[in-house]
Structure 1
Amino acid sequence: MKPVKALIVEDNTFMATVLCDLLKEHATYIALVDVANTGRQALKLIASTKPDVVFLDIELPDMTGFELLQQLDKINFQTIFTTSHSHYAIRAFRFNALDYLIKPIKENELDEAIQRLLKRAGNNIEVKHALANLGSRSAEDQKLLLSTQSGMLRLPLKQITHIEGERNYSYIHLSNGSRELSSKNLAYFEDILIDKNFFRCHRSYLVNRYPIKALQAGHFVLKNGIEIPISRRKESEAKAWFIILE
Structure 2
Amino acid sequence: MRVVIIDDHQEIRSTIRSIIEGSEYPILIEGEAGSVVEGLKLIKSVEPDLIFLDVEMPDGTGFDLLSLLDHENFKVIFVTSHDEFAIKAFRFSAIDYVLKPIDSEELVEAIDKAQKLHSPATHISTLLNNQKRQENKLVLSDQKTTYLVETSEVIRCEADGNYTSFYLTENRRIIVSKTIKNYENLLIDHGFFRTHQSHLINLAFFDRYDRTEGGIIYMKNGDPIPLAIRKKESLMTTLNSFMK
- Residue pairs, 1:150-161, within 5 angstroms: 150-161=144-155
1:165: which partner in 2? 159
1:185: which partner in 2? 179
Equivalent of residue 203 in structure 2, options 195, 209, 231: 209
3-state SS of 1:91 partner: helix
**Residue 125 in 1 paired to residue 122 in 2?**
yes
Structure 1 residues 13 and 96: CA distance shift in structure 2, 3 A: same
The answer to whether the 8 A contact 2:167-2:173 is kept is yes
1:68: which partner in 2? 65
The answer to whether the 8 A contact 2:30-2:46 is kept is no
3-state SS of 2:189 partner: coil
Q: TM-score, normalised by structure 2?
A: 0.80
Structure 1 residue 224, shift from structure 2 partner: 1.7
Structure 1 residue 17, shift from structure 2 partner: 1.6
**Residue 31 in 1 paired to residue 29 in 2?**
yes
Seq. identity, %: 33
Structure 1 residue 238, shift from structure 2 partner: 1.5
Give CA deviations for 1:151-208 in whole Å, capped at 9, x if unaligned.
3233332222111223333222222334333332221221222222211122221001
Structure 1 residues 234 and 105: CA distance shift in structure 2, 3 A: same
Rounded to whole Å, the distance in 2 between the matches of 1:182 and 1:54 is: 25
Structure 1 residue 120, shift from structure 2 partner: 5.2
Structure 1 residue 98, shift from structure 2 partner: 0.8
Equivalent of residue 93 in structure 1, options 73, 90, 97: 90
Number of residue equivalences: 238
Structure 1 residue 29, shift from structure 2 partner: 3.4
2:54: which partner in 1? 57
Structure 1 residue 242, shift from structure 2 partner: 2.0
Give CA deviations for 1:99-134 in whole Å, capped at 9, x if unaligned.
222333333433343344445598433112222333
Q: Which 5+ residue runs of structure 1 have no aligned equivalent?
A: none
Rounded to whole Å, the distance in 2 between the matches of 1:242 and 1:169 is: 28
The answer to whether the 8 A contact 2:13-2:32 is kept is no
Structure 1 residues 33 and 135: CA distance shift in structure 2, 3 A: same
Rounded to whole Å, the distance in 2 between the matches of 1:24 and 1:138 is: 35
3-state SS of 2:57 partner: coil
Structure in which a larger fraction of residues adopt helix: 2
1:13: which partner in 2? 10
Tell me which moved more, 8-17 or 149-158: 149-158
Equivalent of residue 243 in structure 1, options 222, 229, 240: 240
Rounded to whole Å, the distance in 1 between the matches of 2:135 and 2:89 is: 15
Aligned-CA RMSD value: 2.9
Q: TM-score, normalised by structure 1?
A: 0.80
Structure 1 residues 214 and 134: CA distance shift in structure 2, 3 A: farther
Rounded to whole Å, the distance in 1 between the matches of 2:194 and 2:117 is: 34
Structure 1 residues 34 and 182: CA distance shift in structure 2, 3 A: closer
Q: Which 5+ residue runs of structure 2 have no aligned equivalent?
A: none
